[in-house]
């Protein structure tokens, strides 16, 4: 309903013996051990729903890999976020690592939009999603949901449907950003998840088209230029339809993936004044509202 934040209750994972938590990649292990940004320690992992996984595939949970693989693979360069832009709007993205967020404090610190992790694969939902997604809305931020892709475990359509069914929807209320796909370095194994470049492009298109059919919006694509070049062959077929959310921890956004002449959102650091990862929207606040309104 317009003007009202929809309630959401994330699905509970099935109980199971604790598994070894995969830590952040080597370049960020020290930060994780110091509980970067004041985060609480992550709980033990529970068993995943592997009903949609390929036979013989080990299914994993994440504990916030949006951006956490980037510094390990691409490093940090210069003073982050210092690229001079005519107009930019500060925002953030969060996941279970941040737990319960004080959204009033985030708004006071200058945050104007937030992406919240909803799902990963087809067996994980963020246990803090309801507080983060509805809380940011109630504090006046424009919010959206994102999905962390595991392309080796199930099809793009399967994961898109799981995402939309567990918080990845969209409504034309002026406060909800289009759903987002986080597609990046595999924190569990092979960088490109064992897919060929053409197979990865087909997977992303399958996900994108399914989100479009379910929500009426093409998803925002979060990635890095290096990963996109390596794992899709620098495919240029998404720039005309899918807004780009690019990650690069540097003083400038740098070269963009093929097909996009500008980024919509730039994730410029994985820590800073706001909870979670730090982002700039490439435009004034009314442009953020325009993206929300479609």
| 222-273 pLDDT tens trace | 999 999 999 999 999 999 999 999 999 999 999 999 999 999 999 999 999 9
Q: Name the strand (E) or helix (H) holding 163.
A: helix 156-165
Which one of 62, 64, 74, 93 is the catalytic residue? 93
Where do the DSSP E strands lie in 108-161?
Answer: 113-120, 124-125, 142-148
pLDDT at residue 63 tops 60: no
CATH topology of domain 26-40+47-54+77-293: TIM Barrel (3.20.20)
Q: Are 93 and 276 in contact (CB under 8 A)?
A: yes
Dihedral angle sign, alpha carbons of residues 187, 170, 226, 266 = negative
Where do the DSSP E strands lie in 76-206?
Answer: 89-94, 113-120, 124-125, 142-148, 180-182
Is 64 annotated as catalytic? no
Whole-number Å distance between alpha carbons of 118 and 284: 26
Which one of 184, 226, 270, 277 is the catalytic residue? 184
pLDDT, mean of residues 153-162: 98
- 24 band by pLDDT with thresholds 50, 70 and 90: very low
Is 184 annotated as catalytic? yes
Is 62 annotated as catalytic? no
Question: What pLDDT, on the 0 to 100 scale, is given for residue 114?
Answer: 98
Alpha-carbon distance values, 149 to 26, 122, 173 (Å): 21, 9, 27
Say what percent of the chain tops pLDDT 70: 71
- Closest of 257, 158, 254 to residue 211, by C-alpha: 158
pLDDT at residue 46 tops 90: no
pLDDT, mean of residues 184-188: 96
Mean pLDDT, the chain, rounded, equals 81
Say what percent of the chain tops pLDDT 90: 70
Which one of 64, 74, 182, 277 is the catalytic residue? 182
- 220 band by pLDDT with thresholds 50, 70 and 90: very high
| 187-212 pLDDT tens trace | 999 999 999 999 999 999 999 999 99
pLDDT, mean of residues 176-187: 97
Alpha-carbon distance values, 115 to 112, 266, 293 (Å): 11, 12, 16
- 73 band by pLDDT with thresholds 50, 70 and 90: low
pLDDT at residue 121 tops 60: yes
Task: Please state the domain extents for the chain.
Answer: 26-40+47-54+77-293
Question: What pLDDT, on the 0 to 100 scale, is given for residue 68?
Answer: 58
Extract the tokens encoding 104.
Answer: 């009033």
pLDDT, mean of residues 277-283: 97
Taking the whole predicted model, whether its pTM rises above 0.95 is answered as no
pLDDT at residue 88 tops 80: yes
- Closest of 236, 240, 243 to residue 221, by C-alpha: 243
pLDDT at residue 120 tops 70: yes
Whole-number Å distance between alpha carbons of 283 and 109: 19
* 126 CA to centre of own chain: 12
Q: Name the strand (E) or helix (H) holding 247.
A: strand 244-247
């Amino acid at each position: 309903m317009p003007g009202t934040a929809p309630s959401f209750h994330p699905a509970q994972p099935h109980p199971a013996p604790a598994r070894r938590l995969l830590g952040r990649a080597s370049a960020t292990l020290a930060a994780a051990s110091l509980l970067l940004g004041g985060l609480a320690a992550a709980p033990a992992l529970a068993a995943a729903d592997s009903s949609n996984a390929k036979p013989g595939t080990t299914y994993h949970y994440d504990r916030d890999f949006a951006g956490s693989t980037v510094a390990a693979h691409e490093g940090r360069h210069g003073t982050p976020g210092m690229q001079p832009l005519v107009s930019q709007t500060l925002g953030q993205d969060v996941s279970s690592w941040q737990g319960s967020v004080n959204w009033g404090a985030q708004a006071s610190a200058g945050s104007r939009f937030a992406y919240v992790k909803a799902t990963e694969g087809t067996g994980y939902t963020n246990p803090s999603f309801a507080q983060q997604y509805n809380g940011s809305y109630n504090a006046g931020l424009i919010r959206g949901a994102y999905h962390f892709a595991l392309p080796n475990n199930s099809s793009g359509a399967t994961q898109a449907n799981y995402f939309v069914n567990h918080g990845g929807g969209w409504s034309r209320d002026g406060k909800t950003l289009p759903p987002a796909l986080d597609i990046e370095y595999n924190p569990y194994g092979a960088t490109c998840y064992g897919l060929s470049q053409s197979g990865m492009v087909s997977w992303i298109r399958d996900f994108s088209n399914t989100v479009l059919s379910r929500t009426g919006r093409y998803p925002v694509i979060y990635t890095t230029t290096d990963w996109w070049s390596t794992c899709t062959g620098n495919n240029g077929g998404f720039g005309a339809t899918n807004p780009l959310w690019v990650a690069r921890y540097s003083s400038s956004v740098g070269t963009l993936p093929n097909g996009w002449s500008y980024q919509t959102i730039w994730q410029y650091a994985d820590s800073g004044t706001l909870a979670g990862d730090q982002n700039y929207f490439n435009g004034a606040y009314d442009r953020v509202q325009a993206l929300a309104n479609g």
